[in-house]
Amino acid sequence: MEASRPDTATRILDVSERLFVEHGFEATSLRMITQQAEVNLAAVNYHFGSKDALFESVFMRRLAPLIASCLAELDELEAREEKLSVESLVTTFIRPCLALSKDPARGGALFVRLLSRTLVENHRLLRETISQQYSVFVQRYSRAFHHALPELGVEELAWRMHFAFSVMFNAFAGNDVLKIFTRSQIVSARDPDMIVKYLVPFVVAGLVSPVEG
């Protein structure tokens, strides 16, 4: 028996996710999407209402579970340990990202790249909808890191978290600044596990480094 063909809406979501990552939102046309999804052009507007609403659907399908996974890991860790290590905190974020990256059924590494693109493109969706729904994400991690690194002031901690999530995020998204300048794809030919092997120590070292006098 063959794998049953997903319904129209799902086919549209899957193809859109890939095309939005490859070409960006503006450069991806509904005709490209519907052609590759083998559905009628009007199907997008019928099922989602508009191209903008389609984008939001593509986005939220992956983001909600990812955030939930991170917070679940955080819950579990806080229930298990009294004093949280920075490395274990970092891992609560990295493990769900890693799991997502290795699971083609959930879009694999595609969604992290989409998130990255969307962040840089500064979509209205991010500024409005998501920042309201998931502000708890930052709050939880801020509290946890504050307990793990009590010697850091709030400003310094905010910066270090900013840097830490920035580098983790771009690592999973495969955004290699240096590949701009060189053809070698050594780093970008990414085995997700390899990323973590080098990523965690780097991030932890930056987070725990002693404050300057």
Binding site for DNA (CB under 7 A): 7-8, 28-32, 39-47, 50-52
Residue carrying the six token digits 């969307």: 118
Name the residue nearer to DNA (CB basis): 31 or 102: 31
Calpha distance 79→73 (Å, rounded): 10
Q: What angle do CA 22, 129, 7 make, to 5 degrees?
A: 55
Among its own copies, DNA, none, partner that 31 touches (CB below 5 to 8 angstroms by kind):
DNA
Least separation, in Å, of the C-beta of 43 and its own copies? 23
CA dist 7 and 139 (Å) reads 38
CB of 59 to DNA, least distance (A): 16
- 139 contact, one of DNA, its own copies, none, CB 5-8 Å limit per kind: its own copies
Asked if 155 and 59 touch (Cβ cutoff 8 Å), the reply is no
Q: How many residues bind its own copies (CB under 8 A)?
A: 57
- As a whole number of angstroms, the distance between CA 158 and CA 146 comes to 10
Q: How far is the CB of 182 from its own copies (least distance, A)?
A: 4
Question: Residue 151 interacts with its own copies (CB under 8 A)?
Answer: no
Nearest to 157 by CA among 88, 206, 196, 119: 206
3-class SS of residue 51: helix
From DNA, its own copies, none, which one binds at residue 52 (CB under 5 to 8 Å depending on kind)? DNA
Q: What is the largest CA-CA distance in the chain?
A: 68
Q: Which does 42 bind (CB under 5 to 8 A by kind): DNA, its own copies, none?
A: DNA
Query: What is the smallest separation between the CB atom of 79 and its own copies, expressed in angstroms?
Result: 23
**Which of 16, 52, 57 has its CA nearest to residue 37?**
16
Residues of this chain that interact with its own copies (CB under 8 A) are: 22, 24, 26-27, 116-117, 119-122, 126, 130-131, 134-135, 137-139, 155-156, 158-163, 165-167, 169-171, 173, 175-183, 186-187, 194, 198-199, 201-209, 212
